[in-house]
């Protein structure tokens, strides 16, 4: 009787520990899925809004731009996604990385570091330079050309954003969360079935010993 009682107590402890680990893993899986879903939802919303408005994608008031050159290495490289906060020229300090419109046809967007600021009678002109370039940029940035300050750069994410702007990318962007949800559900179903089989086996073994 004593051995049978000890066996039952050990079995109960083992079962309780297994349920705890299973529940903990399930919580982590749900958290991962929710975070993934939120990120995808934000990206989709920003991309759709940009398509409708005709402007650049925005998240929480920050513009998102894809880096097309390596002039700012090692700060960020080609394919990075930079988040630009619109601010006035008066708030720019030396050392800040700013995004501005270049001169000429098309006015290409450039993100370089502010190396000098000239504020004469309120007419602010910002001298810029790419970290990887040997010389400063030929034309200073004026208030009219300033877009904002780079506050965050995420490597390689620009490639992903560019891909999502294609038809195939949008399809995959929708299918990926659905696939992740399906995988999680299959894993949970498999674990539940396995736990039920194990519980039945333990009960059968306990009854045979009794």
CB 142 within 8 A of CB 91: no
Among 130, 144, 66, 54, CA closest to 101:
144
User: Residue 11: its pLDDT value, please?
Assistant: 55
95: left (phi over 0), alpha (psi -120 to 50) or beta: left
Residue 44: CB partners within 8 Å, gap ≥ 6? 164, 173
CB 206 within 8 A of CB 8: yes
User: Residue 7: its pLDDT value, please?
Assistant: 45
pTM (global) more than 0.75: no
User: Residue 53: its pLDDT value, please?
Assistant: 64
Low-confidence stretches of the chain (pLDDT beneath 70): 1-23, 36-37, 39-40, 42-54, 104-106, 202-210
- HSE, CB side, 13 Å, CA atoms: give it for residue 195: 16
Three-state DSSP at 64 gives strand
Query: What is the C-alpha radius of gyration for the chain, rounded to an integer number of angstroms?
Result: 28
Residues 129-179 pLDDT 10s: 999 999 999 999 999 999 999 999 999 988 887 887 777 877 777 777 777
What is the DSSP code (8-state) at residue 24?
H
CB 111 within 8 A of CB 54: no
User: Residue 47: its pLDDT value, please?
Assistant: 67
CB 113 within 8 A of CB 72: yes
Among 180, 160, 164, CA closest to 172:
164
User: Residue 153: its pLDDT value, please?
Assistant: 95
**Pairwise CA distance, residues 39 & 45, whole Å:** 10
């Amino acid at each position: 009787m004593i051995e049978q009682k000890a066996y039952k107590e050990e079995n109960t402890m083992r079962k309780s520990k297994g349920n705890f680990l299973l529940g903990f893993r399930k919580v982590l899986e749900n958290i991962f899925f929710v975070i993934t879903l939120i990120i995808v939802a934000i990206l989709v919303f920003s991309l759709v809004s940009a398509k409708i408005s005709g402007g650049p994608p925005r998240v929480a008031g920050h513009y998102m731009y894809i880096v097309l050159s390596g002039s700012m290495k090692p700060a960020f490289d080609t394919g990075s996604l930079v988040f630009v906060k619109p601010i006035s020229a008066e708030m720019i300090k030396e050392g800040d990385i700013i995004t501005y419109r270049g001169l000429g046809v098309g006015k290409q967007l450039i993100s370089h570091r502010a190396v000098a600021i000239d504020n004469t009678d309120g007419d602010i002109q910002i001298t810029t330079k790419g970290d990887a370039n040997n010389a400063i940029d030929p034309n200073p940035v004026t208030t009219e050309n300033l877009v904002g300050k780079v506050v965050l750069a995420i490597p390689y994410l620009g490639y992903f954003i560019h891909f999502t702007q294609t038809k195939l990318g949008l399809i995959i962007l929708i299918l990926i969360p659905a696939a992740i949800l399906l995988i999680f559900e299959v894993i949970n179903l498999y674990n539940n079935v396995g736990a039920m089989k194990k519980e039945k086996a333990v009960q059968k073994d306990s009854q045979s010993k009794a």
